[in-house]
Amino acid sequence: MSLKPKVAGRILEVLYIEDNVGDVVLLKKAVKEAGFPLRLHTAGDWDEGLLFLNRQGRYAQSPRPDVLLLDLNLPKKDGMTILIEIRQNPDWRDLPVVILTSSESDLDRDWADRLKVSHFVTKPMEPDQYGEVLKHLKEFWVKSFRVHRAR
């Protein structure tokens, strides 16, 4: 599977809410190496993510993300609580969410399914496996483009 989709020449805008800087660095490296047309925006917690989504403060000129990458184990507020808030907010209800977490809990997967996440991805154990995360994002992007083109 090629990791270089050209979807109408557009770059996929991704907001990644993740407090572990190491995980952010690994994903950025994988994106760069794959040449994936993706712009990765990051927030270290939900407060910062809210500023981005609401285009407030230093994020006033930020694009609306095409997809939210969300860790479940975050400071202040956990990812499932954040996901519930997203699904209850009419402005973000339809925002595609990909859970990217170290959790392998069936309970977490069940909750994520009920809250209609696009994908549930367990973080790779090895740094060189972050390309797998990009494959899930590509699947989302290609599927989204087909739905958009069919309209």
Q: What is the pLDDT of residue 140?
A: 63
In this structure, the number of other CB atoms found within 10 A of the CB of residue 32 comes to 11
Q: Looking at the domain assignment, is residue 140 inside a domain? A: yes
Domain count, the chain: 1
Q: Looking at the domain assignment, is residue 17 inside a domain? A: yes
Q: What is the pLDDT of residue 109?
A: 84
Q: Looking at the domain assignment, is residue 92 inside a domain? A: yes
Question: Which CATH number goes with the domain that contains 87?
Answer: 3.40.50.2300
Q: What is the pLDDT of residue 4?
A: 39
Range of the domain at 61: 12-150
pTM value is 0.81
Low-confidence ranges of the chain (pLDDT < 70): 1-9, 127-128, 136, 140-151
